[in-house]
Chains A and B, each alone.
Chain A
Amino acid sequence: MDWTPAGENALRLVLSEHPSPSTTQGLVALQQEIRELLSNAWIDSAIGYTTLTVFIDFTHYPRERVQRLLASLDIAKITARYAGDFFSSNDAHVIALPTLYSPDVAPDLLSLAEHKGLSLEELIAIHSGQVYFAYANGFAPGFSYLGEVDERLAVPRLATPRRAVPAGSVAIADRQTAVYPKVSPGGWHIIGRCPTLLFDVNATPPTLINIGQWVRFEPIDCEQFVALGGEL
């Protein structure tokens, strides 16, 4: 496996051809290992679906030495050894996101159900009836790409993205689902709303959902939604 340049101060590794929870777990393990190795020369790093990109201060640690160091890593060994509780899909470690599935807060809920030939109850049962894996964070602070959505709910993005999707909107695109942490433009189909704060600059880490964690959506009613701080 080759580390290739990603601009003047980063190197990138494609760990596998297709994403999977085990690929992501390997990327997380590798990221931790490299961060420690690079010490002060580490600037930042980012995990994609199949890639790890590490930003490095090459004035601190010359490019050639970093290349040699990274080439010498036993990637198979590092990626295999990490499997803590953090990655457990056992219920105790799954992040529960209370979600109000209601047309009042979700403009695409009824149309998606109709388009898919499902009743509202069936749609909710399918979406909330499984756990999802956080493959990557991006797009906006605290926005996690969660997968994989049941094939029965998979739907392409809206032809015209909305200019402003309300904060907390739970949405679907293709076989991914996500919660919009704050008001932003968005092209995913909105099926619910979650009152949980997903991003807080004063928290460590600032995101509730971190790459490699498992997430579940829990249906709640209007009353619970308001009690949890949601605004209708």
Chain B
Amino acid sequence: MTESTLNQLIVSDVGLLAVVQDQGRFGYLDSGITQGGAIDGFAYRLGQRLVGNSLSAAAIEITLAGFRCCFSHDTSIAVTGADAPIAIDGHDKPMNTTLFVRSGSELTIGHSQHGVYSYLSIAGGVCSEPVLGSRSVVMRDGIGANLCPGDSVPYGDIGPCLSAYQYAAPPRTESQLNLRYIPGFQTELISNAVVDTFHNTRFSVGHNRDRMGIRLSGPAVNTGVSKLWSESTCLGAIQIPPDGQPIVLLADRQTVGGYPKLGAVLSVDCARLSQASIGTPVKFIAVDPTEADRILWLEKNYEAELTLAQLRSSP
């Protein structure tokens, strides 16, 4: 296949940050390689469904605002996640919908009104070169690179989808986030009084946030735990550094850490947290592992049902 026949989107504006992400990279923690992957798994998977991709296909994750690109070949796309105005060749288009784009069409994604991370999914998926089994970019680790204006990104040559779907969801804006978490790690070393206070405290989403984690602000949590041997972190781990302000670790977290941890937030709630605006009140609610399994099972089925609803209602 010659260069000119390759399906590719040409990026002209990346806003704050745009990176290729899929489900993440697994099996390399002992090499110090983080998981990565789409921060808002729900929005990412919804996008893949809308364009008929497998749930492991790669998309472009756009942080906050201002993405623009052209497509070399007819295809179908969907924009999910943060609530942002989108347009194709200047015409407003809905989010969470399978959209047809022609060869040469220009897509613009404007500043998000609610939420932080948007996903551009393309029929056939983004076909950048996988590294260690994943296309997820982790810039900090030198795995892949963030997109720059002028970059061309290859995508699958399967053509447009035969039918279009829409997911008419209320925007996922939440005035208060209840983060369900499984207690663990150093919880047993921490006094009940401190844990009770932690549950009764209303924290808020701080300014210090990225794909590694989100720092919360509130009254300091004094764990009383000092010397710890570094150990594996996990998605959603609630780390308490010496200043007592919790950090919830996300997709690009460091693989090992030596701060005390109270437990880990469920993945579905990590996705909600990742989209929360600065200042959003946050409370932690402890759930046991069996309850967590039930929540995740329900969420998985809820997601599957969404797609079914589209199939039945589509013209």
Contact = CB atoms under 8 A, between A and B. Distances in A.
Contacts of A137: 30-32, 255-256
A229 interface: no
A210 interface: yes
A145 B254 CA distance: 14
16 contacts: A8-B289, A18-B229, A44-B28, A47-B30, A48-B232, A53-B234, A55-B29, A58-B293, A136-B256, A139-B32, A140-B32, A141-B141, A142-B32, A199-B32, A201-B143, A206-B28
Given A4-B184, A12-B184, A201-B143, A45 B29 contact: yes
Interface in A158-215: 182, 184, 199, 201, 205-207, 210-211
Main secondary structure of the interface of B (DSSP, over half): mixed
Interface of B: 26-33, 35, 131-132, 140-143, 182-185, 229-232, 234-237, 254-257, 263-267, 289-290, 292-293, 296-297, 300
Interface in A21-61: 43-51, 53, 55, 58-59
B231 A53 contact: yes
B89 to A, nearest CB: 39
Nearest to A145: B230
Q: Nearest 3 A-B pairs (CB), nearest first?
A: A48-B231, A7-B264, A138-B256
A19 interface: yes
Contacts of B264: 5-8
Contacts of B257: 138
Nearest to B231: A48
A84 to B, nearest CB: 17
Contact of B230 (A7, A10, A48, A206): A48
Contact of A51 (B231, B255, B292): B231
- Size category of the A interface is 35 or more
Contacts of B183: 5
Contact of A206 (B132, B229, B297): B132
A9 B184 CA distance: 12
Which of A138, A145, A199, A211 neighbours the largest number of chain B CB atoms within 10 Å of its CB?
Answer: A138
Contacts of B31: 137, 141-142, 199, 205-207
Contacts of A50: 229, 231
Contact of A63 (B27, B184, B290): B290
Nearest to B269: A8
Given A7-B264, A45-B30, A46-B29, A182 B132 contact: no
A143 interface: yes
B131 A5 contact: no
Contacts of A4: 184-185
Nearest to A203: B31
A58 B297 CA distance: 10
B192 to A, nearest CB: 17
A168 to B, nearest CB: 14
Contacts of A211: 30
Given A5-B182, A141-B32, A19 B234 contact: no
A165 to B, nearest CB: 14
A10 B293 contact: no
Contact of A139 (B232, B256, B266, B290): B256
B260 to A, nearest CB: 13
A206 B296 CA distance: 33
Given A51-B229, A141-B31, A207-B31, A10 B234 contact: yes
B254 A182 contact: no
B184 A6 contact: yes
Contact of B26 (A43, A51, A143): A43
Which of B182, B183, B257, B263 neighbours the largest number of chain A CB atoms within 10 Å of its CB?
Answer: B182
A4 B290 CA distance: 13
Contact of A12 (B26, B131, B185, B229): B185
A44 B182 contact: no
A141 B289 CA distance: 31
